[in-house]
Chain A
């Protein structure tokens, strides 16, 4: 019944809100097990996509099967096996943390006694002991998010949707959420997570789909995505900034690719598609030395996902909150 080993199978998915095509023809195959990251800037359509999979929004066109069940034809079967942690903490702020967990447990059919036990387990596991008897309205953003995720785990879901689980969290809370996700995956839960943080997608995901303006513009493992954005990146730092223009001419001729100047006046970078980076570096450094341009330091690496996103979309990922950059 579960088509192959796919947790989610979508084809031609479209959802339009008035004039905007929030989801514009998405095909997606999410394997069972592991973390699948849906990466994209604000407004890319990630949340709408998740809402279709979680049976909250009916697609205008296309089909989606979640754990083998069609989201439109059989939403109830889907709901029995998923949990959703929405972008805005979907807990009842006027109830205490303990009451939120109890409510969820009772709605899922646990007896009063089992619900109480389960709530206590989750309160302990998620470090909510000190605040469990306080109204959730008084919680910090990190605490709310933890309570929200704990609520989603009252009964272990086969598939957990986490819509921007760490947006607005401080670094320690963010790492705590990551640890939770990794643990869940080790125990066999499939996680579909949306994020606008490239490092988060890189850290957690086994596979990433990059979304922009309602479309999936790339999909693959983090390594594949980095490779697709132009193999390795070499970065050279010259001894003297005054030699940079001449070095740039030499390198452009030598490597046959555009060479970029960086904010640092002595630094040059280049993407090297289809070339083994280490050979190119050795070659470039010796060639520059021959021309009388010493290169005291150089680095070779894969492009960051930021660079990947820029290469794929032609525009950088918007910074969702400048204050988060310290993370």
Chain B
């Protein structure tokens, strides 16, 4: 074991306290931490790789023939749906990493420091944007290889990815809230999947709602995921998307307005 040498007073004491970083600097420092963690534990990215690849391949070849007569025409309908589902499913990790930090005591140190308190959470969510981009690239890359050609072109696809990232960032605040309420990562995973699976499947992501019974159709039409998938389809197909995209942005703002302050309240009192 390395033993401690005789301490040099100067080395221990260091400089006077510098100017404290502003909210943005602190957030990006915390985002850098999230990225470094991924570098040390690349397996953290497993879900961001496995989920999009599995869903894109499985759904296309499993349902393509039955739903649309051919995988080619189904892919055109399906791809925006798999994009949404893949990204939404991996947002859960935001809650998991925060829960881990909380239980390991790392949050205590951050909370006792003179930094903008939300930086700890915002930073980790910014780090997660990297995961969303990776998942999106995989879905789109696979789709393209399988013959998907977006009518909206590169600009439409980029806008679609930007919109899903915004929504994923906003949705993550639900999981960060749960990170303070629920005890273990397992409970967070279980509960979040119990929420996400019905929301993504009972939507227009995989099949058109026209053949559904009335009660289900009412649910599907009200489901925010349907609006998100509709906006993604419109953007990627290059059709008018302003209304649907606006609805998604509004929903995103509402999610942050509710779960942002709730997370911070719990962060201050429960961490």
Q: Do A and B come from one complex?
A: yes
Which chain A residues have a beta carbon within 8 Å of chain B's beta carbons?
Answer: 51, 54-56, 58, 76, 79-84, 86-96, 99, 103-104, 106-110, 114, 118, 121-122, 124-131, 135, 140, 142-143, 146, 151, 153-156, 172, 176, 179-180, 183-184, 186-187
- Supplied contacts A51-B108, A92-B37, 17 more A-B pairs, CB within 8 Å: A89-B105, A90-B105, A90-B106, A94-B41, A99-B33, A103-B29, A107-B26, A108-B20, A109-B25, A114-B18, A122-B14, A126-B4, A143-B2, A156-B12, A156-B13, A156-B17, A172-B3
Q: Nearest 3 CB-CB pairs, A to B? A: A125-B11, A90-B109, A127-B4
Assembly CA distance A151 to B104 (angstroms): 16
Chain B residues with CB below 8 A from A84, complex form: 108-109, 112
User: Interface residue count for B (Cβ, 8 Å)?
Assistant: 43
Complex CA distance for A95 and B127, rounded to whole angstroms: 15
Which of A79, A80, A84, A109 gathers the greatest number of chain B CB atoms within 10 Å?
A: A109
**Contact bitstring B27-60, A, C-beta under 8 A = 1, else 0:** 0011011001100110000000000000000000
- Asked if B5 CB lies within 8 Å of chain A CBs, one says yes
A262 to chain B, nearest CB (A): 39
Once bound together, how far apart are the Cα atoms of A113 and B105, in whole Å?
Answer: 28
Tell me the bound Cα distance from A179 to B7 in angstroms. 8
Q: What is the minimal beta-carbon distance from B231 to any residue of chain A, in angstroms?
A: 36
Can you give 29 contacting A-B residue pairs, CB < 8 Å?
A51-B108, A55-B112, A80-B17, A80-B114, A86-B108, A86-B109, A90-B104, A90-B108, A92-B37, A92-B106, A93-B104, A95-B33, A95-B36, A99-B36, A104-B109, A106-B29, A109-B19, A121-B14, A124-B5, A126-B7, A127-B5, A146-B4, A153-B13, A154-B14, A180-B7, A180-B12, A183-B7, A184-B13, A187-B9
Once bound together, how far apart are the Cα atoms of A93 and B29, in whole Å?
17
**Given A156-B13, A187-B13, A56–B105 Cβ distance below 8 Å?**
no
Q: Which residue of B lies closest to A53 (CB)?
A: B112
Q: How far is the CA of A195 from the CA of B4 in the complex (A)?
A: 22
A124–B109 alpha-carbon span in the complex (Å): 23
A56 CB to closest chain B CB (Å) equals 6
Annotate B105-128 by CB proximity to A: 1 below 8 A, 0 otherwise. 110111111110000000000000
Q: Across the two chains, which residue of chain B brings its CB closest to A155?
A: B17
Residues of B within 8 A of A135 (CB): 40
Q: Which of B14, B18, B33 contacts A153 (CB 8 A)?
A: B14
B113 CB contacts on chain A under 8 angstroms: 79, 107-108
The CA of A82 and the CA of B37, in the complex, are separated in Å by 27
B211 contacts chain A at the CB level, 8 A cutoff = no
Is the beta-carbon distance between B9 and A183 smaller than 8 angstroms? Answer: yes
A-B contact count (CB 8 A): 146
Instruction: Compute how far the CA of A90 lies from the CA of B100 in the bound complex, rounded to whole angstroms.
Output: 12
Q: B3 to nearest A CB, angstroms? A: 6
Is B12's CB under 8 angstroms from A80's CB?
no
A130 contacts which chain B residues (CB < 8 A)? 2
Tell me which residues across on chain B come within 8 A of A118, comparing CB atoms.
14-15
Q: Which residues of A contact B114 (CB under 8 A)?
A: 76, 79-80, 108
Residue of B nearest to A109 (CB): B18
CB neighbours (8 Å) of A122 from chain B are 11-12, 14
Q: Which residues of B contact A90 (CB under 8 A)?
A: 104-106, 108-109
Report which residue of A107, A124, A126 has the largest number of chain B beta carbons within 10 angstroms of its beta carbon: A107
- Of residues 129 through 149 on chain B, the ones whose CB sits less than 8 Å from some CB of chain A are none
Distance in angstroms between the alpha carbons of A284 and B5 in the assembled complex? 50
- CB B64 to nearest CB in A, in angstroms, measures 41
Does B243 reach chain A (CB closer than 8 Å)? Answer: no
Residues of chain A contacted by B271 (CB below 8 angstroms):
56
Whether B115 pairs with A107 at a CB distance below 8 angstroms is yes
Per the bound structure, the CA–CA distance linking A279 and B137 in Å amounts to 89
Residue of B nearest to A92 (CB): B106
B246 at the interface (CB under 8 A from A): no
Residue of B7, B16, B104, B106 near A156 (CB, 8 A) is B16
Q: Which chain A positions have C-beta within 8 A of B4? A: 126-127, 146, 176, 179-180
Please measure, in the bound complex, the distance between the C-alpha atom of A93 and the C-alpha atom of B33, giving whole angstroms: 12
Task: Find chain B residues with CB under 8 A from A183 CB.
Answer: 7, 9, 12
Complex: how many Å from CA A267 to CA B32? 65
* Contact residue among B1, B5, B105 (Cβ-Cβ distance under 8 Å from A88): B105
A79 to B26, CA, bound (A): 15
On chain A, the residues within 8 Å of B19 by CB distance are 109
Q: Which residues of chain A are within 8 angstroms of B36 by Cβ–Cβ distance? A: 95, 99
Contacts of A176 in B (CB 8 A): 3-4
Nearest B-chain residue to A122, judged by Cβ: B11
Identify A151's interface contact among B41, B109, B111, CB under 8 A: B109
Q: How far is the CA of A138 from the CA of B30 in the complex (A)?
A: 22
Query: Nearest Cβ in chain B — how far from A189, in angstroms?
Result: 8
Closest chain-A Cβ to B47's Cβ sits at a distance in Å of 17
How far, in Å, is A107 (CB) from chain B's closest CB? 6
Cβ B112 vs Cβ A109 within 8 A: no
Asked whether, in the complex, the Cβ of A109 is within 8 Å of the Cβ of B21, the reply is yes
Q: With a CB–CB cut-off of 8 A, which chain A residues contact B16?
A: 155-156
Q: When chains A and B are docked, how far (Å) is the Cα of A80 from the Cα of B16?
A: 11
Q: CA separation between A124 and B5, bound complex, in Å?
A: 8
Q: Check if A106 sits within 8 Å of B21, measured CB to CB.
A: yes
B-side contacts of A155, CB under 8 Å: 14-18
Contact partners of A184 in chain B: CB under 8 A: 12-13
